[in-house]
Structure 1
Amino acid sequence: MTVLVFGGNGQVGRELLRALAPLGRVVATTRSGTLPDGSACEVADFDRPGSLAALLDHVQPSVVVNAAAYTAVDRAEQEPEAAFRANAEAPGAIARWCAAHGVPLVHYSTDYVFDGQGNAPYREDAPTAPLGVYGSSKRDGEEAVRAAGGRHLIFRTAWVYAAHGSNFLRTMLRVGAERDQLRVVADQIGTPTPAALIADVTAQALRHPGGLSGTWHLTASGQTSWHGFAEAIFAEALATGVLAKAPAVEAIPSSEYPTPAKRPAWSVLDNRRLQQDFGIALPSWQDGLERVMAEIAAG
């Protein structure tokens, strides 16, 4: 089996290269043709969706996993064309090739497809109503993948972080080591989800004998605010020796931290369907944080 992974240098992509290795030959792509360790890989330019079919023809994968995306949420408000090319047109081109060749496609989406006005975890069939360009482009990507008509597994996730890359946890550790006090938004609620969990669940789903197709919510279990996540990060960093001291964390409303793109206030996704369909238990977000912090401490 040959598994083609788009976005091999991202948070989820890097974990996928590890998690999918037991399934067979894994072929990675990045826009630059280079992986984080400096090794060469295939080139995939999501700014040129029309070029992707030739790459797929060249690799002839048995499975395609798309972990590439335009994820600069605020910059997307000024660069909508680039966001839609990468998040909607490119996945559509990949999905059409996969459908024509009978190849299953895994594609990742986001809590940003919802408006964040809920107060109960969003089910997969909840109406989408994105607040900005990023969410709209990701919703259109989902629709393009479904419209292609092939077997697809769309996994919506949220608040992704890892021991590597650019993410909230690593930002907190960096600024927390420099400052005595931080101000963190407390009125946005979601579920911190490790990239490693997303990759491991993806591998398990691909091994599932059912040949399922559809949309699932793939996050850790439970919920917290960004402020609650920050406090948990610092508590775990102290416990593992990653930090010698931690800053005080002041809770603030989103109105005191304005951004070009509006964030969903409620981003909790109902992950029960995934657990039932694939027989997978999704751990709490606290368990996920412990694992990632242990990885950082060991590194």
Structure 2
Amino acid sequence: MTSPAGLTAPLGRRRLRWHAAGCLAVLLGALYLAHRYRPAVRHAAERLAAADQGWLLAGAAAALTTWAASALAQQGAVVRRLPGARLLAAQFAASAANHLLPAGLGAGAVNVRFLMRCGLPAGRAAGALAVKTTASAAVRLALIGLLAPACPGLLRLPHLSPVAVAALLGAVAAAVLLITSLWSRCRRALAAVLADIRTLHARPSRAAALWGGSLAFAALHALVLVAVTRAVGVPLAPLQVALLYLAASSAAALLPTPGGLGSLDAALALALIAAGAPGAAAASAVLGYRLLTVWLPLLPGLLVLVVLVRRKSL
């Protein structure tokens, strides 16, 4: 009879193969897009190569600290004390896994698995992730609300065709019907999440970690884009760039692509150009932001993911 350990090893190797295959698919897709739009990518890369290296280093430093902010927010969503080094490594691995599955499923799966390995039941682990996600969305909306009056006229609602409006209304109606059909389950899940939120906010240190980490995560990502726009000479004020990033990333989250691949790039580029940035400079800024936050950390993040799986931390 096969032992559980004997079954676990093949399953672990199978997961690693799937992660490697997903990484390969993402890289091949990026290479195809780079080849398809080779002149534009080459021009953006040349401009980025001649950019201010000091600002690029500042952007890289901000990108590195985003994982610490994510770890702080995740600790704030859990009453139990989590192992700091493994928590930070899990956030780094989750950022890589996030680019293999759509709509944040990769990062969510890594974080839930990590929390379960730390002793949380599956329901509590999923609830902690929901609390963190909710806090992140609330912080982004609050920042948009605070920055929008400082940059009047910068954010404008796009003109939607009747077909787009009809499609949007149809999607909303489908979502309402789905929530209604699953209301009994959603109600129980929502009650559990609200109970977790009340428990966390009864401990000021956890509440400060949750909201402070969520605020720092959003601000640091905005700072990465601000640094890159300074490096390539985009003629926009830092507050304007930060507001455009928050709005574009929030809009891109509605499209379930792996890590916002394609949706966030297009939203950022269009937002920068609509605000007055030259097309070439906007493309260079988006390329630089993606290099610092996605492509350069992707392979190290996947290696950390493999190590965590092998050590049974995930």
TM range (shorter): under 0.3
**Normalising by the residue count of structure 2, what TM-score does the alignment of the two structures yield?**
0.26
Structure showing greater radius of gyration is 2
Q: Which has the higher helix share?
A: 2
**Normalising by the residue count of structure 1, what TM-score does the alignment of the two structures yield?**
0.27
- Considering Cα pairs closer than 8 Å and 6+ residues apart, tell me whether 1 or 2 has the greater RCO: 2
